[in-house]
Structure 1
Amino acid sequence: MLEKMYKILSINPGSTSTKIAVYENENELFRGSVEHDVAELSRYKTMVDQFEMRMDAVMSRLVAAKYPIGELAAVAGRGGKLPPLKQGAYRVNKAMVDFLTYRPIDDHASNLGALVAYEIASSLGIPAYIYDAVVVDELEEVARLSGIPEITRRASCHVLNMRAVAIKTAKKFNKNLRDMNVVVTHMGGGITGTVISGGRMIDVLTDEEGPYSPERVGRVPCRQLVDLCFSGKHDRASATRRMRGNGGLVAYLGTNKALEVEEKIKNGDKYAELIYYGMAYQVAKAIGELATVVKGKVDVIVLTGAIAHSRMMTDWIVDRVGFIAPVEIIPGENELEALALGTLRVLRGEEQAHEFTEPE
């Protein structure tokens, strides 16, 4: 019996670009990126205001590539700032569109993913989905405790890519992810980690709680942070920028580019080596911390994200965590593929899509 073929359009809006790809089942047929002029973007007050511009840009890119959109079976968009969701797929419906248009939790580029996907899919009479949105939250209740009642820990991490590489790794081991304990670390501009057990992300380390990264400070001593915020040197905005954007490698070395840091190290810069090694050291500590959630019974550790391309970084990390479990390295962000493959599982009936309803 011939395998049924599904063509899926994936859409991943970023702050200054919109990335798209078309997949036929597991195979990528087309990939493109539309770069948006910063001056043009500055004319829009909110991300949702950019909808028509982004929509036109995606359609123009598909027309330029001479891709026949009438052959699509579904459209998948990056999930945006909705209320906390379950993992997996949600069919984009009118309630979701209304929420992202008028009441998004935060003004974020990912909000446009579902909106553009819904518009294209509606015109073709096919379904639109989001998959593993940035707001997926299935933490154990004990994992929500912070030590201060006014602050509740939240599941904020690179969930789309993290679950995708975990599923891929489980298949490599000829297992179902539900039957494994997997620790995943995503290393990009921010670094996040999660432990997946029973198929769920039961605990995470957000980019504010774990290692410092190319642009972010990660976990810092609380009292010193309070002192810095009340030192008179910062207002709320500048303190936030210091933590997110001007922290990590940027603060220590003046760059967020791992390749530049590695070049400094190759040229004998011992300070750069200390700082870069310190990032690996903290990633390893974070992996060890997450391993305790499943009492050390970890089947595999996965390193992913752009910095997983760095052999220097991954070798340092593996040297420290290899005693816990085997380490798989799957570099890159792979978000367009993750959207397509998640949607493909729904079309094949391997997973059921959730229905979004706005909470009261």
Structure 2
Amino acid sequence: MPDARRTDAVLLLVALVWGSSYLAAQTATAVLPVLVVLFVRYALSAVACLGLVAAGRLSVVRRSGGRPAVEGPSVGKPAAGRPSAWWTRDEVRTGVPLGLTQAAVLIVETYGVAHTSAANAGLIISLTIVLTPLLDRTGHPGGLPPSFYAAAGVCLLAVGLLMSGNGFHAPRPGDLLMLAAAVVRAGHVALVGRLTAGRAVRPLHLTTVQTLVGAALFLLPASGGLPALARVDAAGWAQLLHLALFCSVFAFLAQTWAVQRTSASRAGLLLGTEPIWAVAVGVGLAGDRLTVLTGLGAALMVAGTYMGQAVERAHRTAAVRPASGHAPRPRPPEPSDTAVTVPGPGPGAAPDRAERAAP
């Protein structure tokens, strides 16, 4: 029981950290250009990931008594006669395209969170949970059940209420960008599933490739604004470090550790509290206003995403049920951030997958 409580606490901490990423990104983009924030975020995450990979290689060498290390493509599964490598071919082939799509997600998300409230950003991006199954139909032969589309409709109604603010009016640009970010992120998560299927990739190493791709991608566009970093105060650097080290590297590693020690349903439930934490942080620390309409929208969004996740999981489980009639053994969510990966504002969680885009 103590171990179960510890695992639950870690998953809730991950959800809280991710929920706080929206306010951190909003604060950082208030003092720095968006592209500079993205570059620094990727660069810091890449340095941290490279350090962890190097530490792991050094540990392997020490355990082997100084002899050349031998590792296979999977963590903890040596492959005799195969020299140790920073990345396998599969990790590079998978990490490069996922790094590009993850960068696209973060561009739209970060520009969006810079022009809306932290609470709205965290709630609207939750649409990823119901959009992903619509884009990734491989596990749903014959289509999704009507109840799933009902849940998606509840989420769309919630978005309309969230965009209304203090009254019905034209949506703010930031809200529309977050809506677009949810669509792009759903496509990214679906791509994660397709590219990683059947490939032995180590999550940390895959994440490192993605962060290096992102850092290289944003270096040139952000170069003109890099001198502004000299004027960033301690509070600004704290936000950047929080985004890179806590919302990405720490959250990813903690998630990986925790989901291996609990059920898929429980992990999804606890990680699914992220939008609730985003609202709490936005209202408590950023002074976001929770009007009657936005409060109703928040409640409908949380209810709709939970309903959609439950319906999708049940339908997928029934589709793969063995001919014997016994339900398959539950598996923990697969860490993709991304999956794995860059600390992006917003959940990258696919149903039953708890995937987060990294850094």
In the superposition, the TM-score normalised over structure 2's length comes to 0.26
Tell me which protein shows more strand as a share of its residues.
1
Tell me which protein shows more helix as a share of its residues.
2
Instruction: Answer 1 or 2: higher relative contact order, Cα 8 Å, separation at least 6.
Output: 2
